[in-house]
Structure 1
């Protein structure tokens, strides 16, 4: 028979083990509705926190707005070191390669970014508005023609941004469905399979882009990929590997984040913030100014970070905490967006919020290249929904909604909705 002291000791060990397990990043308490409730306490008491990651690596988790924003712009925190040979596998993060723009530090990053930055300026994106609106209208026409109920993921959230980015880059419409499947595989972060799904998606995307590049070399078109090929062939500013990688990176990033953000946002509005949905229905012109609050409040990243760890290139300090060279650092955008020192009543969705310097598009050299396009797509889609389907509501209980587990984003695979009587 065990003594009471032995039992007490085992109980203490068990509690410590459970505590350590509960601290493994990413945390189970987070969802599309917001980060784990514990983040609020960490921001106040331990804003730079040591955590054990799902990959078995210790890392520093940065949770406070001021620290996250500063760290995103700090060149001493390297993305390249986090993606190079021998880099620690953090776990819960998407597989990336050293030649992807999201894996680079300056000056390599700046060289590549300049090649496409002009295509994503606010002015050029605004010129795309009529075509983007047309794509949305066609999809809503089809939804209304088929009638209630509908599934907003395959009928709207996925095809809308996929069609837009496909046309921008010059991907034939008949190939877009294949890109969707491969990009979703590439975004998988399930480390239990050794990253096999992500690597397989990466290989398929690369193989396809090689063939598409060959076609566009033979017959150039008025699209971004043709422009990138010209930069490679005429000015030698891109290596062949960079050209291939840039192609599938832009396509994957150009639709997956918007598709997930749109689906999650509609779910949040019609299921949990009905008063805010009705506020938009009363005056659809409010949607553009409301989008930033939706982006701040509705948590896109399943890991609560941008999904991409950084490695300290030298000894440094973040939020008064000493970070050693070689340490992994995770920046929680979801937590920063709920920081009460920046956002009044931060856990409340307030579509009329005026001061909203959220970090959902990032900050520093890696801030989202397509933020103007993504914001415009959100505006057009939500405006169309509140105008044409004002009484939109879930067709099933929320607990029945299927989520794709193991992606960098909170990803709904189906969103059945109904409207009318």
Structure 2
């Protein structure tokens, strides 16, 4: 086995339909391999399901080390700062996570279902009143999760679109421009949340951000910068991934003649299982990884290969979700796949805090769409769809759809 793969990460050929073709070869021949990256440093790329899942929960891989001063810059990954929850290791991560984890339990999320349904129905009413063609990204995919997370955290409704602009800029990972867009987005988000925190401190309301301010001021469990950073991290993570997953999932369902969409319209009871398969099959990550490298704190042996201490490590969730050892016929979208132990929400310490909320929003949105628009279809050819490049996710700029005659 060679220790360097001939290619630069992130590999070309990744799309919402699946990871770059190199991953299939790597899973077969070199599941743990050293690759050069667009940032100019080598990283170890892990591609098989069991290895990715195991290492996602391995405390010998440090996120904090990957975000600290002097850490190697792995190209194609997102800018993060040391105080962000996604940048922390066990003790500090748990301290922050437990402050908000209760709001995202399955029981609490189910209590939000009626409100999510109401927001979705209102957006679908507007969509029906306008008539096709409409842009599904603008009409539903963005405003649904943005409204929900905004209300949960207490962001004024008139500020949501401004916040969306800077959160999406923050998610930009285009290293060719030196990351200026991401850094500008980070600065603007920080500036906005500083003002919002001041307002919540003066005028607390019944929302999560007010609770975090109280945790800062009364229990001193957060530093001021942690409080500000936690605020924009939760809002950004709470809508962008769900918005992109919803748009990409609808696209996957209505292409190829729309047979899968029609089947769901005929039997909506299949939608929860379909959402799980869409989470597995539709490749959300533009780099085929979660976008967040880790650093090995000691030598780690994985499948006969040793990752040396100090090396950056990339875990490919998209590749893991296409591993034939776990998912029979993995490149086929099977909306009735069972079992379906995908790891699209990650695993271990950094698994997605909002996974229950994201799942529920996807189910509610797709159920509403197939009920109201059983003949939904693309309004333009798929080859004409505009994709926003340079983001951590595969992001549709717009998704023109229509229905009826």
TM-score > 0.5 by shorter chain: yes
- Is 2:3 aligned against 1:26? no
- Given the alignment, which residue of 258, 279, 295 partners 1:295? 279
For residue 114 of structure 2, what is the aligned residue in structure 1? Answer: 130
For 2:133, the equivalent position in structure 1 comes to 149
Which one of the candidate residues 313, 320, 327 is aligned to 2:304? 320
Aligned twin of 1:46:
30
List aligned pairs for 1:15-414, cutoff 5 A. Answer: 23-272=7-256, 274-414=258-398
**Matching residue of 1:13:** none
Matches of 1:360 and 1:181 in 2, distance apart?
A: 25
Residues 179-207 of structure 1: per-residue CA shift (max 9 Å, x gap): 10000100000111211111110111111
Deviation of 1:37 (Å): 2.1
Contact 2:278 2:335 in 1 (8 A): yes
1:107 is paired with a residue whose SS is helix
Root mean square deviation, CA, Å: 1.1
* SS across alignment from 2:90: coil
Q: How many residues align?
A: 402
Which ranges in structure 2 are unaligned for 5 or more consecutive residues?
A: none
1:290 CA displacement:
1.5
Deviations 1:16-52 (A, max 9, x none): xxxx997111111110000112211211111011111
Cα distance in 1 for residues equivalent to 2:334 and 2:42 = 36
Q: Which runs of 5+ in 1 are unaligned?
A: 1-19
Q: For 1:56 and 1:269, how far apart are their aligned partners in 2?
A: 38
Shift of 1:344: 1.2
**Separation (CA, whole Å) in 1 of partners of 2:23 and 2:189:** 36
TM-score (norm: length of structure 2): 0.98
Q: Distance in 2 between matches of 1:369 and 1:273?
A: 36
Task: Decide whether the 8 Å contact of 2:39 with 2:75 is kept in 1.
Answer: yes
* TM-score using structure 1 length: 0.94
Which has the greater radius of gyration? 1
Cα distance in 1 between the residues matched to 2:94 and 2:371 = 41
